[in-house]
Amino acid sequence: MTTSVNPGSGREPAPPWALLAELTHACPLHCPYCSNPLELARRSTELSTDEWTDVLRQAGEMGVVHTHLSGGEPLLRPDLERIVAAAEGAGIYTQLVTSGTGLDEARLAALTAAGLRSVQLSVQHADPRAADRIAGRPASFAAKERAAALVRRAGLPLGLNVVLHRDNLDAVDALIELGVAWGADRIELANTQFYGWGLLNRAALLPTRDQLARARETVERRREQLAGRIDLVWVVPDYFDGVAKPCMGGWGAVSLTVTPDGTVLPCPAAASLPDLDPPTVRDHPLAWIWEHSAAFNRFRGTEWMTGPCRSCARREEDFGGCRCQAFALTGDAARTDPACALSPDHHLVREPADAGRSEPPPYVYRRPGAVPAPAPPSPPVP
């Protein structure tokens, strides 16, 4: 049982507006950059339909207005339609985040009838063979192409989500062209964030500075061309700019994540933090978790900060960066995110980013039980 902690100003936190619902960790794809934890939740531990219905009811009452129904692959839940209907009944806008594998016309019609509002499709590459290699599954690209056509025919907004890395950054122009051809309303080009499987595969995925510079230029050019037609989003790379991102819009500030077994986290990667003692919807109401749990109050606001964040002018803008990255790289989640050039640990991102690599190692594909425990983080610099 967690205790009530409120280290901030003593005021109740503003309610969340977004919920990431990780319905299952099962997935037909095996992407090496996956942000799911290395230890994937077993299907036997997943929340039931009734439990998800109750979570969404509580979320709606708290003021959540948007949910990403994600995974793993949410289409593997046979009760997905009922979960969508529960969100709709709670007044929550639903976006399905899917690989497209397993989507057919009848399923999409049932989901749309249940209240599904939009679809975000993951894409690994514009070239089918390269895409299938990155996803670790033959014919996955063809399934995505079919899924995109179905979504457009159903009249739902379509977003493409591309995680960018060494093996697809040079294809950014072709990926944008693919989005245009598939009728996407939005293309999110998200440079890999190195947690979980992404961190494990960092040496294979880290791009060169030249690759990034070329891709950035391409995105700027295409954004001008496509203005008013397609929303082109570029999620900045963590290791290269010397700037920490305002991860999740701040810890426990705008959104919460519910994992397949009902654990509630301030961000999808927070399960990796030791001693967080994250609460679960099986033991506590969602509103109590948001407002009073130790896990959600641990890094809320700025009181927890040490130097250099504590006295930094940007602390209310980036909230000291990402706690999960700070832990993954330094072993201490309360340190300044090493992505920030002011961090005493900045060398931990600068050195790998600057290292010239010849032959990258092969991917460790995301598969249950595929991974050895991750290497222990380097000790923090005092």
- Does residue 57 belong to the site contacting ligand SF4 (CB under 6 A)? no
Hey, what's the torsion of the CAs at 199, 121, 104, 150, to 10 degrees? -170
**The one among 20, 312, 328, 333 contacting ligand SF4 by CB under 6 A:** 312
Number of residues that bind ligand FES (CB under 6 A): 9
Write the CA distances from 231 to 44, 289, 365, integer angstroms.
39, 35, 31
**The one among 40, 76, 131, 267 contacting ligand FES by CB under 6 A:** 267
217: Cα within 13 Å, side-chain hemisphere: 7
Q: Which residues contact 291 (CB under 8 A, 6 or more apart)?
A: 12, 13
Sheet containing strand 231-235, edge to edge, reads 231-235, 186-191, 158-164, 118-122, 93-98, 66-70, 18-22, 255-258, 264-265
Q: Which of ligand SF4, ligand FES, none does 171 bind, CB closer than 5 to 8 A by kind?
A: none
Contacts of ligand FES in 283-322 (CB under 6 A): 322
Q: In the bound complex, what is the minimum distance in angstroms from residue 49's beta carbon to ligand FES?
A: 28
Cβ contact 236:245 at 8 Å: yes
Cβ contact 333:262 at 8 Å: no
345/343 Cα distance (integer angstroms): 5
Q: In the bound complex, what is the minimum distance in angstroms from residue 193's beta carbon to ligand FES?
A: 7
**The one among 252, 337, 348, 353 contacting ligand SF4 by CB under 6 A:** 337
Number of residues that bind ligand SF4 (CB under 6 A): 13
In degrees rounded to 5, what are phi and psi of residue 56? -70, -35
Contacts of ligand SF4 in 220-259 (CB under 6 A): 244
**The one among 91, 128, 308, 368 contacting ligand SF4 by CB under 6 A:** 308
Contacts of ligand FES in 234-253 (CB under 6 A): 247-248
Q: Which C-beta is closer to ligand SF4: that of 152 or that of 350?
A: 350
* Binding segment (CB under 6 A) for ligand SF4, from list 149-157, 168-176, 308-316, 322-330: 308-316
DSSP, residue by residue, 22-76: E--S--S---TT--S-SSPPPGGGSPPHHHHHHHHHHHHHHT--EEEEESS-GGG
Q: Which residue is nearest to ligand SF4 (CB)?
A: 312
**The one among 270, 286, 305, 329 contacting ligand FES by CB under 6 A:** 270
For the chain, report the end-to-end CA distance as a whole number of angstroms: 33
Q: Which C-beta is closer to ligand FES: that of 171 or that of 248?
A: 248
162/98 Cα distance (integer angstroms): 12
**The one among 324, 329, 339, 349 contacting ligand FES by CB under 6 A:** 324
Annotation: binding site: 27, 31, 34
Which residues of the shown chain bind ligand SF4 in the complex (CB under 6 A)?
244, 308-309, 312, 314-315, 318, 320-321, 336-337, 340, 342
Instruction: Name the residues that contact ligand FES, by CB under 6 A.
Output: 195, 247-248, 267, 269-270, 322-324
